[in-house]
Amino acid sequence: MTTGLRRPSRERDRTFAHILLNTAVANVTTSFLWFALTFWIYLETRNVIATGVIGGGYMLIIAMASIGFGTVVDRFRKLTVMRVSAVFTLVMFVLAGVVFASMPADAAASMTSPWLWLFAIFVLVGAVIENMRSVALSTTVTILIDADRRDRANGWVGTVQGLAFMVTSVFSGLAVGFLGMGWTVVLSVVFVAVGLAHLMVVSLPEEVEPAASDAEGAFDLRGSFRAVRAVPGLFALILFSTFNNFVGGVHMALFDPYGLELFSVQMWGVVFAISATGFMVGGALVAKFGLGTNPMRTMLIAVMVTGVIGGAITLRASPMLCIVLAWFFMAMFPAVEAAEQTVIQRVVPLPRQGRVFGFAGAFEAAAAPVTAFIVAPIAENIVIPWADGDGARVLAPVFGTGPARGIALIFLVAGVLTVLAAAVAFRTPVYRTVSAEYRAGADAESVSDAIDSVTTRPTTPDVVEPTGA
C-alpha cells in the first residue's frame, strides 16, 4: 500500500475520532428513518408479517450487497467510499420523500399498496448503502490505530453505535407519534446532508491512495472467498456468527410487535433508548479494558449470556422485565462485535480486509432474513393463535399470562439454541486454531509497530482540512 507519512498516534486518534463522529451521525440518520418505517408500517397495518418482511428485506439487501461493498472498499480510498455512500443515501431519502408526498391517503394501510412498498424500498436501499461506511470504518481502524489498541477502538465504535441507537430509538417513536412520517423523512434528509458536508472536510493522510489489492470488478466473490480461506479457521468463525444471526432473525421479526403490545409507540422508542445505554456501557467497557488475550473466548462467553437473556426477556408480559433484560442484552453486543472485528483486523492483511468484512457481512446478514421470513408467518398464523387460545393454559405455568405469550415461547427456544451453539463452539478445533492465529498475528504486529515507532517522524497536526482528496 502506498501511504502518506504515518503520524504520531495522538494525531491519528483525532482523525479516527472525526471519522467515528461522522459515522455516528450517519448511523443516527439512517437508523432514525429505518426505525420510524418499522414502527409506522406496523401501526398502519397491525401485521407482524409486514415488520418481518421489512426487517428481513433490509438484511437480505445487505447480504446481497456486502461482498460488493467489501470489493469497493478494497479498491478505492476509504474516505471516497464514505462520501459516495453518503451521496447515494441522500438521493434515496429524497426519492422516498417524493413518493411519500405523492402517496394516496389510504395507501399506507394496505399491505398490497405499491406506494407503500415503493416508499419502503427507497428507505431500505438508502439505509443499506450506509453499511458500506461500516466496512470502510473497520479498515480505518487498521490504518489509524496501533495493533495493541484496536480492541479498544472497536469498543468505542460500539459505544458510538449505542449512542446512535439511543438517540434514534427515542426520536423515531416520538417523530412518528407526534410529527408523522412525512416530517420524519424531512429530518432524515437534513441530517444526511449535514453529515455529508462534514465528511467533505475530513482528510486521511495515511492513505494517499488505496492499498495495492488483487480485488477485481465490482463484486469479487472469488477473491473474497480466497481471502477468507487464506486464514485457517476464519471461515468457521464466520459460520458461527452466521448461526448466531439465524437466531437474531427471531428478535428482528418479533421484538417490535412484542414491544408495541406492551407500550405505546412513543414509549417503545424510549424503551429502546434506555436499552441502548446498555450498548454504550458495554462498548465503553470494551474501550476501557479491551477483550483480553483471547477475543474469541470473550465473544463466545458473551454469546452464551445473550442466549440466556434473550430466552428470558419475555418469560412474563412485564414492561419492567422487558426493559431490564433488554438493557443487559444490549450490553453484551459490543463485546461480540468488537471481538470479531479485532480478530479479522489482526489476522487478515489490509488489502483484503474490505472483502473479508464484506464476505462476513453477507453471510451473517443473509441468516437473519431467512429466519425472519420463516418465523414471522409461523408466529402470526400458528404460534400466536395457539398461545392465545388452546395453548394458553399449557403455557401459563412457565410464561404466565398476558399479550404475546406465543412470541415468548419462540424467544425461549431461540435462546436455548444460542447457548448450546456457543457451548459446542468452545469444544471445536476451530476455536483453538483461530485463537492461535490471533496470538501469532499479535507477535508479528508487535515487531512491525516497534519499527514504525522508530521511523515515524513528528508532523504538524492537520486532522481536518478542507480537501477533496
What digits encode the pLDDT tens for the residues 330-365? 888 888 888 888 888 888 888 888 888 888 878 777
State yes or no: pLDDT of 88 exceeds 90. yes
Does pLDDT of 1 surpass 60? no
* Domain-embedded: residue 2: no
In a domain, 432, yes or no: yes
- The stretch 405-431 carries a mean pLDDT of 87
% of the chain residues with pLDDT over 90:
7
| Least confident piece of the model among 41-50, 71-80, 184-193, 356-365 | 41-50
**Is residue 466, in this structure, part of any structural domain at all?**
no
Q: Is the pLDDT at 450 greater than 60, yes or no?
A: no
Report the distance separating Cα 463 and Cα 425, nearest Å.
43
How many Å apart are CA 352 and CA 356, to the nearest integer?
A: 6
Q: Return d(Cα 40, Cα 108) in angstroms, integer.
A: 9
CATH assignment at residue 440: 1.20.1250.20
Rank 132-141, 358-367, 383-392 by mean pLDDT and report only the highest.
132-141
Contact 334, 367 (CB under 8 A): no
Q: d(Cα 391, Cα 378) in Å, to the nearest integer? A: 15
Distance from C-alpha of 268 to C-alpha of 43, rounded to nearest angstrom:
12
Domain containing 277: what range? 9-212+231-454
pTM above 0.95, yes or no: no
Cα 244 to Cα 30: distance, rounded to the nearest angstrom: 24
Q: Is residue 442 part of a domain?
A: yes
Give me the mean pLDDT over the 401-407 stretch.
80
**Averaged pLDDT, 115-123:** 86
Neighbours of 330 (CB within 10 A): 26
pLDDT at 402 over 80: no
**pLDDT of 94 above 90:** yes
Instruction: Find the mean pLDDT for residues 290-295.
Output: 86
Average pLDDT of the chain, as a whole number: 79
Mean pLDDT of all residues in 37-43: 79
Question: According to DSSP H, which parts of 103-147 are helical?
Answer: 114-129, 131-144
For residue 389, the model assigns a pLDDT of 81
Q: Residue 255: CB partners within 8 Å, gap ≥ 6?
A: none
> Is residue 294 in a domain?
yes
Contact predicate 155/331, CB 8 Å: no
pLDDT band at 221 (very low <50, low <70, confident <90, very high): confident
Q: Is 429 exposed, middle or buried (0-12, 13-18, 19+ CB in 10 A)?
A: exposed
30 in a domain, yes or no?
Answer: yes
Residue 424, C-alpha cell as written in the block: 459446542
- Tell which wins on pLDDT, 400 or 46: 400
Over residues 43-60, the mean pLDDT reads 72
- Give the pLDDT of residue 220: 78
**296, part of any domain:** yes
CA distance 163 to 32: 12
**Total count of domains within the chain:** 1
Residue 261 lies in a domain: yes
Nearest to 167 by CA among 277, 265, 86, 251: 277
Distance CA 90, CA 365 (A): 23
**Across 45-53, average pLDDT:** 70
CA–CA distance, 268 with 259 (Å, rounded to integer): 6
Check residues 328 and 113 and name the one with the higher pLDDT.
328
- Euclidean distance between CA atoms 58 and 365, whole angstroms: 9
Q: Phi/psi at 210 (nearest 5 deg)?
A: -65, 155
